[in-house]
Amino acid sequence: MSEFEAGLDFRRGMIDRRLAHTKRVLLVMSGKGGVGKSVVSAALAGIASTLGLKAGLMDADIYGPSSALLFGAKGLPVEGESGLIPPILGGVKVMSVDLFASGRPIPLAGSGANEILLELLALTDWGNLDCLVVDMPPATGDIMLTLTSLRNDVEAVVVTMPDRLSTSVAHRVLELLKGGGVTTVGVLGNMVRGSAKGKEAGPRKLAEEFRVPLLGLVPFDRSVSNAVEKGNIEALLRTRFARTLRKSMSAYLRA
């Protein structure tokens, strides 16, 4: 007879099963806050849906969730027999801790944020998805480590603004991804002001150094903040920002 203290986190197996019918998991990362990951993530999921793909958006920014706000999602998810059913807005299945916290502050010590992430991933019934976009938090802590080891075909887009502060942190993220079992789809320059000429130096240099594609340079677009205020993904998708993003990412999303 053999007895053992299990230490068995059954949620890992649940997550594997939940994502077994998801073709692609795409992490939108930067390492740094304020470069537009959440808006890029929301728009990417929305674009995927307009391309006829079954899209989901997982808000992994547990401390500062914004996906629900961007999509205008409110209220607790419906509980089905097979788990939590994410609300569908603009054709996108959206899951966020803010559907539960509803604007309350989320002060979490220790492993708290990662526990919430694991619980949400274990409980969410995504059904069949072509693409699950994950809005990653800033920093390279537990959540990033959990999500990059979620399964062995996880892919990542690294978003950066053209300035040195952003590219220096994006550089660290690319370094982590390199050889870490995550396919880096490419570098996406965001909030590029004025003519792209000369502004692409930072993102392009990063892409060249890590031998990944420069996916595009998305302009700074004042109309994005108006669309965000509306909490309506369709409004966001009508912006110049989203149209440029669509050109940059459609081929990848369709592949």
Comparison of 13 and 52: residue with beta carbon closer to other proteins: 13
CB of 104 to other proteins, least distance (A): 4
Place of tokens 């992490």: 27
Cβ atoms of 174 and 48 within 8 Å: the answer is no
At 110, list the tokens.
């220790």
5 binds other proteins (CB under 8 A): yes
Nearer to other proteins, 22 or 223 (CB): 22
Tokens 């569908």 correspond to what residue?
88
Kindly tell me which of 76 and 201 has the beta carbon lying closer to other proteins: 76
3-class DSSP assignment, residue 123: helix
Which of 67, 137, 64, 63 has the alpha carbon at shortest distance from 95?
67
- Among the listed residues 109, 152, 194, 255, the single contact to other proteins using CB under 8 A: 109
- 76 interacts with other proteins by CB under 8 A: yes
Q: Interface with other proteins includes 220 (CB under 8 A)?
A: no
Assess 106 for contact with other proteins (CB under 8 A): yes
- Number of residues located near other proteins, criterion CB under 8 A: 40
List, in order, residues 6 or more apart from 58 with CB less than 8 Å away. Answer: 67, 95, 96, 120, 121, 124, 132, 133, 134, 135
211 interacts with other proteins by CB under 8 A: no
List the one residue from 79, 153, 208, 209 that touches other proteins (CB under 8 A): 79
The region of 111-119, 155-163, 192-200, 238-246 touching other proteins under the rule CB under 8 A is 111-119
What residues numbered 10-69 form the site for other proteins, per CB under 8 A? 10-14, 17
Establish if 209 lies at the interface with other proteins (CB under 8 A): no
Residue 255 lies near other proteins (rule: CB under 8 A): no
Shortest Å distance, C-beta 50 to other proteins: 31
Query: Residue 139 Cβ, how far from other proteins at the closest point, in Å?
Result: 18
146-172 burial string, b = 16+ CB within 10 Å, else e? bbbebeeebbbbbbbbbeeebbebbbe
Give the Cβ contact number of residue 102 at 10 Å: 11
Q: Which is nearer to other proteins, 119 or 130 (CB)?
A: 119
Question: What six digits make up the tokens of 95?
Answer: 């899951």
Verify binding: residue 150, other proteins, rule CB under 8 A.
no
- Closest C-alpha among 182, 176, 250 to residue 216: 250
Residue 61 burial by Cβ neighbours in a 10 Å radius (0-12, 13-18, 19+) = buried
Residues near other proteins (CB under 8 A) are 1-6, 8, 10-14, 17, 76, 79-84, 97, 100-102, 104-110, 112-113, 115-116, 119-120, 122-123, 125
